[in-house]
Amino acid sequence: MAPTLTFGTLRFIVVSLAVFAQIYLFVRIRHAIRSSNRSARFKTLAVFLSGAAIGLLFAMNVLILLRPIPWVDPPVATQALLFYLPAVWGIGSILSALLLVCSQAAGSLGRAIIRQWHNPAPRADGPPADPGRRRFLQAGAGALGAAPLVLSGYGAAWAGRSHEVRALALPFGLPLRVVQLTDHHAGLYMTRDDLRRYADAAIALEPDLFVLTGDYVSNSIAFLPGCLEEMARVKARYGTFAILGNHEHWVGSINRLKAFFRQQGVPLLYNAHRVIRTEKGPFAVAGIDDMRFGNHDLDAALRGLDPAIPTILLSHRPEIFPEAASQRIALTLSGHYHGGQIKLILPGGDVSLAHLRTPYPEGIYRIDDSHLYVSRGIGTTFTPVRLNARPEITVINLT
């Protein structure tokens, strides 16, 4: 059965967890400070500073998420302090709070089971509390709570920026080397230098066809021209083709978006297709608008196209795949979900918010003779952190 977690439900869960995490961590920190042997003045100041730091980091993270900040290529130090630090705290605090709550619940359950098993007689007086043991437990809780923050920092500093080239081979009807980039999310966490690095990597792969499957910006159209300029540097034998994602519809009108693509010389397939003639025979590239915030129309995209011509469909969201397969489209290329972006790898299968929302979070899928490939993309959204979902440049060798 397909996942049914809606975007509204997802947003409510994340916001609720974020608010809960700030309150819970502050209460834990305040308790630890008040339990120390420091002076009353020190404790009061430490509690105040802790609360202020938590509130400031949380407020900055909310501001970044809710308000477009069109600061193109800020200085590295500014980027780290004003943008990365609050973002790492935002996701790290949620993970820390959840981990501490689970460990506390597990400890309470374990103690209850032990008491029930041994059934000790109640005692009116017990031995005095061991202050050394208390400090040890507090230090352990602190280390446990800090671990997700460290992991989130790693996910932003390295795992979110170190890409891999994912190569696969699929049947198509003629030989073709396709390079796909998706979900760039140019903005505070994907700078012009980062985009140039990805464009250089795509150039080195010498594509026959270069395709871009949406979400070029994060939350401001100010970053779109630079992104398209870098992508336009990639010269493929049979050209470059692009479609729109949901983030483009959030930041600009369709006419303004089309104008940007024309200015940079990047062909935009808006419910349309192109037939490309090669010495091995023709193939087609079709593209549709975003399925939720756009005006997607697969019938319009395929209108007038000979069904016998092998076709690649570009769709930002992969949920078009069953319909595409019914039209006998050989290959559909999508993105959108970032492979989960933050993913747990468990024996029973991978778990992420994306895996709860769609049957197509990442990788290859097949219906009869039709294939779908969902790329993890290169950028991030809402947080610059990636865990177990490295950025991906996709190379598809068609035969």
Residues 67 and 208 in one domain: no
Shared domain check, 178 and 154:
no
Asked whether 332 and 394 are in contact (CB, 8 A), the reply is no
342 in Cβ contact with 386 (< 8 Å): yes
Same domain, yes or no: 225 and 352: yes
Residues 155, 102: one domain? Answer: yes
Both 260 and 175 in one domain: the answer is yes
Does residue 2 sit within a domain? no
Q: What is the pTM of this model?
A: 0.89
Q: Do 274 and 391 fall into the same domain? A: yes
Within a domain: 83: yes
- Structural domain of 191: 165-398
Token pair of 330, please? Answer: 């050989």
Instruction: Specify the number of domains making up the chain.
Output: 2
399 residues of the chain, pLDDT tens digit each: 445 567 778 778 888 999 999 999 999 999 999 988 899 999 999 999 999 999 999 999 999 988 889 999 889 899 999 999 999 999 999 999 999 999 888 877 777 787 777 665 555 555 555 565 555 555 566 677 788 899 999 899 888 888 999 999 999 999 999 999 999 999 999 999 999 999 999 999 999 999 999 999 999 999 999 999 999 999 999 999 999 999 999 999 999 999 999 999 999 999 999 999 999 999 999 999 999 999 999 999 999 999 999 999 999 999 999 999 999 999 999 999 999 999 999 888 899 989 999 999 999 999 999 999 999 999 999 899 999 999 999 999 999
- Is 245 a domain residue? yes
Tokens 């998420």 identify what position?
65
133 plus 279 within the same structural domain: no
The residue among 159, 179, 207 that closes a domain is 159
Let me know whether 228 and 341 are in one domain: yes
Question: Is 1 a member of any domain?
Answer: no
- Residues ≥6 apart with Cβ < 8 Å to 173: 281, 283, 310, 330, 398
> Is there a single domain that holds both residue 264 and residue 334?
yes
Rounded distance between C-alpha atoms, residue 21 and residue 29, angstroms? 12
Residue 269: left (phi > 0), alpha (psi -120 to 50), or beta? beta
Question: Which residues, other chains included, contact 185 with Cβ-Cβ below 8 Å and sequence gap of 6+?
Answer: 215, 216, 217, 218, 247, 377, 379, 380, 381
Domain end (from 135, 159, 183) = 159
Q: Are residues 132 and 181 in the same domain?
A: no
Of 159, 185, 202, the domain-final residue = 159
Per DSSP, 128 falls in state: P
Q: Using one digit for the tens of pLDDT, what is the confidence trace for 234-268?
A: 999 999 999 999 999 999 999 999 999 999 999 99
Q: Taking the CB of residue 309, how many other CB atoms lie within 10 A of it?
A: 16
